[in-house]
Structures are given as structure tokens and as C-alpha cells.
């Protein structure tokens, strides 16, 4: 870059844009005449995002500089408007709200230049725009954004809670190059089957394909059976809701509830732990908190077939004699269904097996059933995070392994100087699907030397689109302040290798941000969530992608 400072270009059409440049407890802003200081008001007292609302908007002319000093002494941070004009309307603890000064001018462009003090913590010409969970009228904390997906031309983000009945799915859509939470889906209340009187885990799982959307609520109480007591409401038995999109309005309309057959429902069944849907099939798993083979209370996967607009239970899959947590995660690959399960410890075996398997079920058109084609045993324990997430790109299914010991993924030469038994740098696996079934295609370990942390959790979450793959390393379980989280963007090459395009870290991140706890790619945009503070960042990748294409 030839100009001092990071140049960020923002296209505004009378809509607020938030710049995630700072993260401290309050700021002091010089007023327009520079004679006095405007102190932060309202910051503190538990209000983490209150900050300053200016008594009057601050007009910034081209070339004018504004300096912000953090109340903890960090800074000063200076930025200036290179072109405009622009108006600063509010300064928060974690963002600045800027508007184009003339709302009648279409495609108003405001260019903001930030000094090197901020540039040092920013990421190579990448604009980071931030939302917080409060912007979605949701809850604060880790339960915001646990599931993030790109579905069609929208980004879907969930929020769940166990005490306020506010589980929902937020739909973000881009209008005129700006993202907005334009629609929210909440659980329908349908008596007498649905009571919502204890928990609402609606949106714990969801998936969409074409005009169909399925949303899971595994802790919903529904009408079922109890041994010796006849029928009554069962707790945490679960249900899934199916919606269809209106082709004219684009709205999602409720179509049907699906659940396990009533006489098989029991307390703690947790139907809809994971859900998947395509144009023909819906797969819904039930993974109880405490499996009991003697009572036939075991994990299963229920397959529903669509006939017209009605979904009917077609087949139930189970592996109760060999696996527990069968269906902890599901992934359709065409009409193939991949099921994550934990291998059951054989009787008399001292060392627990409890390693994770991927089982491939393929539809047999001659028998008209799904049958087990083959399986892959990872040899990894459940705490490795193997297959906590699966995503498709470039003819492969990539499987996360954020807690993988590097000894499972790296050669001896790469492990020189490290303790292979304690390092959990993480990694990911790539699988391909052939006539024979699921086959391991690649295994990539976290670069311990580059990341510099033994618990970087590389591969904890991934998102793929086209030939791009985003991989997070949110440093889960690492407590020192030197590890704040990183997201890597790769281009997948035709020979199966990858090329790193950029690594992204949050400017001025705190030690507990865990940047990259979840993410999703959408075209030239990356959505990234932090862990404990439940903040969502929208990262513009256009500068990186366009420069890499040259």
C-alpha cells in the first residue's frame, strides 16, 4: 500500500455501517472545534455495548481527522475521511456508526483511513463490519450463532436459550451491498402437541434445500408414552418443523411437524439432535442424553419421504449393538447419508473404544431402503471434535477435527521439538464418495510452527464455497492472552492441494474472543463469530480474492 494507513472503502445508501476497529471500555472523542473533550457516558455498569450516543451528529469533511483514546489508555487511534462527506452518529465500545451525509445521493462512497496503530492489528485490506447478538434481539453468550449456514441467497444464524423461549433462526440478506437481519423464524405453537413450557431449543439444528427448510427443537416436550402410565407429555422428547418457501413472496410458511411415532417417544429422547433435508428426503436423528439398550432407549435416525407436500416416516436406522450417539451429526451427499456415531465399548474391554465412526447409508433402489454401504473408523476419541461439522466443496466432504492430536495428522519430521502426546493443534479430513462408498482422500494438520499454539483448534469449524475453503483456529481451551483466534482462507487447487490466500485475526481482540468459533462463507463475504462475547463479524474478502486472481 502506498498511502499511510489502511484504506477501507464503504458503499453506503443512507444505512448505518459499523466498523469493528476497537474493543475497550469507553472512549474520549474530540468535538468539532477541538476545544474540549466529550467523555463516554453509559459505558460500564454491565452495559457492555452502551457507549456514546452523540448529542449532535459529528460532520466529518474530507481530510478531517478524528482521534479516539480508549479509557484504559490504549491509543490514540486516528482515522480520517478521505472522501465524503460523512456523519459520525454514535461511538460504542466496540464499533463506530457512520452514515453518508446526503441520503439522497445513491451509492454514496465514504473512504476511511486508519493510522498504522490500527493497521498493525487489521488484516491486509479486509474490511470488518460487526453485529452483536443484541442486534438480532437475541441472547448474549455462546448460544448465539452455534449454527451458521449459507442457504440459497441468505445466511442463517441461530440463537437458542433454555429459559426465555426465544429459540429462533435469523435470516440475513444483502440489499445494495449491505447485510440486514430482514426476517426471523420462530417456533409455531400447536396445541395439544406443543407446550413450550420448559425449554425452547428451537433452531438447535436446521437445514435447507431448494424450497424446503427443516428446523429442529430436540428439547421440546410433546405427547408420548410413559411406561405403565399411559400417554402423557414427555420431556425433552423433541420435534422438527418443516417449512416451504413461497415462490412469490419468498416467505417461509409452516407446513408440517415431524416427530417419532407416539408410542416410541420417551423422556430425554431429543429427536432432531441433527437434521438434514434434500428435495426428496428428510433425515432426523434422536440422540438421548443417557442411552439405555435394556429399555430400547437408544439413538436412531428417522428418514421421512416427501410425497407432494407431505412428509411421511419411511425408515428408521439404528446401530444400537455397535454404536452410541448414532446420528450426532448428519450430512446428505446427494441421496447418500453420512452418519456420525461413537463406537460402543465391547464387553470385557478395559480400554474404552469410544472412537468416532462415519457410516455411509446409500439408497438401494431395488429394495427401496437405505442400507449401510461402508464405514470409516477415525480411531479418534470423541473429544477430538472429529466430524462435529461437515461441509462439501470440490467434490469432497471436509470433516472437522479441531481437537485432533497432531500426531494423528503430521509426520515425525514435522513434530520435531514438540510433544506429540499433548499437542492438539487440530486439523481436518477430506473424504470422497465412490461406488464403493466413503473413502479418505486427505488429512491436513494444523501448522504448529505457524500457529505457535498447542491448542489452536485448527479445523474446529470450516465453510466451503466453490474452490474456497475457510478454516478456523479459535484456540479453544487455551487460556493465555497470546492466542485470540485466526481464520484461514484457502483456494482448493485442481491437483487436490491448497493455496493459503490470507489469515484473518480480529483487530484489538481480547484473550477470550475465540475468533472463529463459527463461520460461514457467502460469495466474497465471510461471516465469523466469536465465542464468549457472541459477536458476529462480516468480513469483505474482495480485496484478497481479486488480488490473488491476478
Looking at the chain, the whole-number percentage of residues with pLDDT higher than 70 is 57
Distances 371 to 360, 361, 365 between C-alpha atoms, Å: 8, 5, 10
Cell matching residue 117: 496503530
Question: 51-55, 155-159, 496-500, 508-512 — which is least confidently predicted?
Answer: 51-55
Give mean pLDDT, residues 49-78: 48
Q: Considering the domain 385-550 in this protein, what is its CATH number?
A: 2.130.10.130
Q: Burial of 240 by CB count in 10 Å (0-12 exposed, 13-18 middle, 19+ buried)? A: buried
Spatial distance between the Cα atoms of 394 and 385, rounded to a whole number of angstroms = 23
Q: In the chain, what are the domain boundaries?
A: 6-122, 187-382, 385-550
CA–centroid distance for 534 within its chain: 11
Mean pLDDT score of the chain, rounded to an integer? Answer: 69
Q: What is the SS3 assignment for 113-132?
A: EECHHHHCCCCCCCEEEEEE
Question: 169-183, 444-458, 523-537 — which is least confidently predicted?
Answer: 444-458
What distance separates the 2 farthest-apart alpha carbons in the chain? 83
Give mean pLDDT, residues 117-146: 48
Which range in 99-103, 196-200, 276-280, 457-461 is most confidently predicted, on average pLDDT? 276-280
Supply the pLDDT for residue 454. Answer: 57
Q: How does residue 462 score in pLDDT terms, banded at 50, 70 and 90?
A: very high
Give mean pLDDT, residues 102-126: 37
Spatial distance between the Cα atoms of 52 and 26, rounded to a whole number of angstroms = 8
CATH topology of domain 187-382: Lipocalin (2.40.128)
Spatial distance between the Cα atoms of 451 and 460, rounded to a whole number of angstroms = 14
Cell matching residue 272: 432432531
**With contact defined as beta carbons under 8 Å apart, do 370 and 317 qualify?**
yes
Which one is predicted more confidently, 542 or 83? 542
CA–centroid distance for 48 within its chain: 23
pLDDT by residue (tens digit) across 272-303? 999 999 999 999 999 998 888 888 889 999 99
Supply the pLDDT for residue 37. Answer: 28
pLDDT by residue (tens digit) across 71-104? 444 455 555 555 555 555 544 434 454 554 443 3
Cell matching residue 484: 485470540
Q: How does residue 550 score in pLDDT terms, banded at 50, 70 and 90?
A: low
Whether residue 21 is predicted with pLDDT greater than 60 in this model: the reply is: no
Whether residue 482 is predicted with pLDDT greater than 80 in this model: the reply is: no
Give, as one character, the DSSP assignment of residue 295. Answer: G
Amino acid at each position: 500500500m502506498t498511502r499511510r494507513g489502511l484504506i477501507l472503502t464503504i458503499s453506503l445508501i443512507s444505512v448505518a455501517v459499523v466498523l469493528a476497529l476497537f474493543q475497550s471500555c469507553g472512549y474520549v472523542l474530540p468535538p468539532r472545534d477541538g476545544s474540549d473533550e466529550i467523555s463516554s457516558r453509559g459505558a460500564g455498569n454491565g452495559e457492555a455495548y452502551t457507549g456514546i450516543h452523540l448529542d449532535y451528529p459529528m460532520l466529518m469533511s474530507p481530510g478531517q481527522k478524528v482521534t479516539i483514546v480508549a479509557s484504559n489508555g490504549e491509543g490514540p487511534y486516528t482515522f480520517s475521511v478521505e472522501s465524503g462527506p460523512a456523519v459520525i452518529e454514535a461511538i460504542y465500545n466496540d464499533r463506530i456508526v457512520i452514515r453518508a451525509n446526503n441520503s439522497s445521493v445513491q451509492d454514496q462512497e465514504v473512504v476511511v483511513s486508519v493510522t498504522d496503530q490500527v493497521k498493525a492489528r487489521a488484516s491486509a485490506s479486509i474490511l470488518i463490519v460487526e453485529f452483536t447478538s443484541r442486534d438480532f434481539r437475541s441472547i448474549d453468550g455462546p448460544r448465539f450463532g452455534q449454527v451458521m449456514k449459507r442457504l440459497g441467497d441468505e445466511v442463517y444464524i441461530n440463537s437458542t436459550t433454555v429459559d426465555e423461549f426465544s429459540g429462533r433462526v435469523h435470516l440475513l440478506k444483502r440489499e445494495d451491498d449491505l447485510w440486514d437481519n430482514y426476517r426471523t423464524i420462530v417456533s409455531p405453537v400447536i396445541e395439544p402437541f406443543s407446550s413450550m413450557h420448559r425449554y425452547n431449543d428451537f433452531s438447535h439444528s436446521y437445514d435447507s434445500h431448494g424450497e424446503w427448510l427443516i428446523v429442529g427443537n430436540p428439547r421440546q416436550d410433546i405427547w408420548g408414552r410413559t411406561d405403565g402410565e399411559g400417554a402423557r407429555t414427555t420431556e425433552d422428547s423433541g420435534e422438527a418443523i418443516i417449512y416451504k418457501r413461497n415462490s412469490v413472496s419468498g416467505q417461509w410458511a409452516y407446513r408440517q411437524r415431524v416427530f417419532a411415532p407416539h408410542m416410541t417417544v420417551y423422556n430425554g429422547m431429543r429427536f432432531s439432535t441433527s437434521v438434514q433435508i434434500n428435495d426428496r428426503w428428510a433425515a432426523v436423528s434422536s440422540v438421548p442424553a443417557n442411552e439405555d439398550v435394556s429399555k430400547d432407549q437408544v439413538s436412531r435416525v428417522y428418514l421421512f419421504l416427501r410425497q407432494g407436500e407431505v412428509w411421511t416416516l419411511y425408515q428408521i436406522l439404528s446401530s444400537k449393538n455397535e454404536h452410541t450417539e448414532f446420528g450426532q451429526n448428519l450430512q446428505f451427499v446427494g441421496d447418500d447419508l453420512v452418519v456420525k456415531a461413537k463406537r460402543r465399548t465391547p464387553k470385557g474391554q478395559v480400554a474404552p473404544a469410544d472412537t468416532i465412526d462415519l457410516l455411509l447409508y446409500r439408497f438401494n433402489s431395488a429394495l427401496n431402503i437405505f442400507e449401510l454401504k461402508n464405514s470409516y473408523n477415525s480411531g479418534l476419541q470423541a473429544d477430538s471434535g472429529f466430524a462435529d461439522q461437515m461441509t462439501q466443496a470440490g467434490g469432497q466432504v471436509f470433516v472437522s477435527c479441531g481437537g485432533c492430536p497432531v500426531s494423528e495428522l503430521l509426520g515425525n519430521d514435522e513434530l520435531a521439538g514438540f510433544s506429540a502426546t499433548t499437542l492438539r493443534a487440530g486439523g481436518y479430513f477430506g473424504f470422497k464418495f465412490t461406488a464403493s462408498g466413503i473413502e479418505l482422500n486427505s488429512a491436513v494438520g494444523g501448522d504448529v510452527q505457524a500457529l505457535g499454539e498447542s491448542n489452536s483448534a485448527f479445523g474446529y469449524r470450516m465453510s466451503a464455497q466453490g474452490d474456497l475453503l475457510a478454516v478456523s483456529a479459535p484456540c479453544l481451551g487455551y487460556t493465555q492472552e497470546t492466542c485470540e483466534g485466526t481464520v484461514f482462507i484457502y483456494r482448493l487447487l485442481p491437483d487436490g492441494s491448497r493455496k493459503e490466500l490470507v489469515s484473518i485475526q480480529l483487530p484489538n481482540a481480547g484473550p477470550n474472543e475465540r475468533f472463529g468459533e463459527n463461520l460461514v462463507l457467502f460469495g466474497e463475504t465471510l461471516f465469523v463469530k466469536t465465542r464468549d462475547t457472541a459477536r458476529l463479524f462480516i468480513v469483505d474478502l474482495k480485496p484478497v480474492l481479486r488480488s490473488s486472481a491476478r
